[in-house]
Amino acid sequence: MKFLLLLSLFFTACAHTATTLPATPARGPSSPAVGPSEFAAQKLRAKGISEEFLTLVKKIYREDQRASVLELNFLGFLRPHQPTGDEAIPAWQLRRVQKFIAKNHQAFKAAERDFHVPKEVIASLLWVETRHGRDTGHFHVASSLFSIAQADYPTLLDGLLDQAKKMAPDYDQVIANRIQERARTKSDWAAAELVALQEIHQKGWKDARSLNGSFSGAFGMAQFMPSSYLSWSKSEHAKPNLFNADDSILSVANYLSANGWQGKDRASQEAALFHYNRDKSYVTHILRMSECVKRPLASNKHKKKNRGVASAPSC
């Protein structure tokens, strides 16, 4: 799950073109005897993945997306002008969120009744994540996760470090260490997420061959990771569909409630949102937007008088 970084840099990651990571000799320990794909496959076997699903992942793997996936996952923090979460929210965005609430009022009513999470928070989160499903991502989920699982392969990691030098004028050992540690931890995390994707695929809930999403492997309007889908997706039907507004609304409400959201406790709300996306600016932005959304829509009379001008001030 991801914040609208740079107000849509990462949540419109599908618009990025792949940046080829430079091929450089490994500077660390000698490279494994196997290639990056088999290197990742060994991790997956250790996690208990079936050979049948592993074979499928290798067959459908889109290696051409790997360079872009690795850069977006591991070097994004080097990009300038990172948002703080308190940037002005344009009026047109607030109106979109208000209209989304009105259009799906029955689902929001059920979410507030069952999980006690305000509709403004859920609708704001879904806007920030994917603009209410308009931008769910074009990255192949299984391929993104399989690429991330390769991140600590020596030559690929060296390529990331070389790319970081070009992106960061102040590149130093602290930055290098951060990338290396993230490669180790997130590659292991991605392997576990692929095992979760295997369960989703085998149960027939989503087809791993055609499932697309973000560069991090999240999918649907709510941008759930496979493990989050298994744990917190919610539906009135047998198979939750996170590309559907009703199921996304219920699933987000269930997620936040299960992770500690309490109605009048700001600290618990911040903690639940931080669990959803571990970015303090994301948390700040969602809560600010949800408060701004409570403003009433401008009247038709007001809109006619101000054609071509925002119908309400930014928040």
Interval 49-89: pLDDT, tens = 999 999 999 999 999 999 999 999 999 999 876 678 778 89
pLDDT of residue 80: 78
Determine the structural domain holding residue 81 and report its residue range: 5-298
Report yes or no on 124 lying in a domain.
yes
Report yes or no on 159 lying in a domain.
yes
Report yes or no on 304 lying in a domain.
no
pLDDT of residue 31: 63
pLDDT > 70 in the chain, percent: 84
Tens-digit pLDDT profile for residues 265-312: 999 999 999 999 999 999 999 999 999 999 776 554 455 554 444 445
How far is residue 193's CA from residue 245's CA, in Å, rounded to a whole number? 24
Report yes or no on 263 lying in a domain.
yes
Q: Given the structure tokens 């180790």, which residue do they identify?
A: 184
Report yes or no on 311 lying in a domain.
no
How many domains is the chain built from? 1
Q: Cα dihedral angle (287, 289, 290, 291), rounded to 10 degrees?
A: 90
Quick one: average pLDDT of 214-218? 98
Tens-digit pLDDT profile for residues 150-163: 999 999 999 999 99
pLDDT of residue 30: 56
Start-to-end Cα distance in the chain = 24
pLDDT of residue 149: 98
Tens-digit pLDDT profile for residues 219-243: 999 999 999 999 999 999 889 999 9
Report yes or no on 314 lying in a domain.
no
Least confident of 1-5, 12-16, 112-116: 12-16
Report yes or no on 10 lying in a domain.
yes
Report yes or no on 312 lying in a domain.
no
Tens-digit pLDDT profile for residues 90-117: 999 999 999 999 999 999 999 999 999 9
